Amino acid sequence: MSANVSRVVLAYSGGLDTSVILKWLQETYGCEVITFTADLGQGEEVEPARAKAEAMGVKQIFIEDLREEFVRDYVFPMFRANTLYEGESLLGTSIARPLIARRLVEIANETGADAISHGATGKGNDQVRFELGAYALKPGIRVIAPWREWDLTSRERLMAYAEQHAIPVDFAKKGKKSPYSMDANLLHISYEGGPLEDPWTEAEEDMWRWTVSPENAPDVSTVVEIGFERGDPVTLNGMPLTPAQLLTELNRLGGENGIGRLDLVENRYVGMKSRGCYETPGGTILLKARRALESLTLDREVAHLKDELMPRYASLIYNGYWWSPERRMLQAAIDQTQSVVNGSVRLRLYKGNAIVAGRRSESDSLFDDAIATFEEDAGAFDQKDAAGFIKLNALRLRIAAGRNRTQA
């Protein structure tokens, strides 16, 4: 099993699973383990992972703040497509995986490692996302997925292994057990497992961490104005912010107003249905704002074609094909449409809702009030033209009706 593996780069959080994996790799493969810990805005300190890795004999430790890169180069490009998986999910977990996979491969190249390793289980989507990304970036890379190899198939076995090998995992020693499997980054936090495995069971209120319930949100709305340049948000209430700063602030404002909760049964790529709950306050606000501005600035057929392509684009990200040629092709088409998505959107945040209150674009609006008005338009639109338009579009219907082929 350990043939040709002398050094492996592990995606390491410092939690129970990856700490056990670290030791298991050392024992099973007899190899040097290099750890990589990414700060993607998960809201927890990542630096303690360094001390845990050092205590387990790790010599090369990579801890990186990737928040700005994550939002700028992954979240915002995805948002340009107004992306939703199965009509609802904002893909908070999915969009983080290509960045992690890329850095695992880059670190492997820098350190001369033979393999990379991750803590994704054999039932989930993440194993596919990590590995498709790795193979796309380095075809000959070896991937070690312990959950597909070992016999540590329960939390109890993991905790027993940690105790047996004196692995420094605080909550394992204290015996605390979270009922949920959670993933967090600057875009979202997800919850799976535990009571959520029954789709009929409502999520408990104390599960949610980022958002208040809409019932407990303020009785007065919060007004925000978001400025966009070439499809990306760049200002909030007139203040220029970096991508990570802007999303962080929208998460705070959305969370205070009960925005961004989602309870979803989704179709995993590996074949099963899975129930999860998600908090994506900032992303929910941005989706609403972007669509409002695009309604003003995009040509009708461009906007409709974008909407037709979006489900395919969303599936590519969900299924782990960020680095595929087809995703890159779609991205190029989507990005080309964004040159005119410039302007501002005003929204009211109120009890779980992001309500559009205004939109404007000084340079790129296609809204012509002289044509759209219900008042006197001074001849800007000749209503008599509509008769011919309707007759031509009805021609095939009239022919079919004349042959008694009208369908009920």
Burial readout 63-76 (b: 16 or more C-beta within 10 A, e: otherwise): beebbebbbeebbb
Distances from the Cα of 227 to the Cα of 281, 288, 340, angstroms: 18, 13, 13
Q: Which parts of 120-242 fold into alpha helices (H)? A: 126-137, 155-164, 170-174
369: how many CB neighbours lie within 10 A of its CB?
A: 10
Are 257 and 222 contacting, i.e. CB atoms less than 8 angstroms apart?
A: yes
Q: Give 170's contacts (C-beta < 8 A, 6+ positions apart).
A: none
What pairs with residue 228 in β-bridges? 233, 343
3-state secondary structure of 16: helix
Radius of gyration of the CA atoms of the chain, in A: 25
Are 187 and 99 contacting, i.e. CB atoms less than 8 angstroms apart?
A: no
Q: Which pair of structure tokens corresponds to residue 361?
A: 């674009």
Residues with catalytic roles: 17, 97, 126, 181
Q: Which pair of structure tokens corresponds to residue 260?
A: 């961004």
Sign of the CA dihedral with 119 first, then 48, 98, and 312 last = positive
User: Which conformational region is residue 112 in: left (phi greater than 0), alpha (psi within -120 to 50 degrees), or beta?
Assistant: left
Alpha-carbon gap, residue 299 to 289, rounded angstroms: 17
The CA-based diameter of the chain, rounded to the nearest angstrom, is: 85
Picking from 118, 110, 109, 122, the residue whose alpha carbon sits closest to that of residue 25 is: 118
- Helices 300-318 and 325-337 cross at an angle (nearest 10°) of 150
At residue 400, what are phi and psi to the nearest 5 degrees? Answer: -65, -40
The residue count of the chain comes to 408
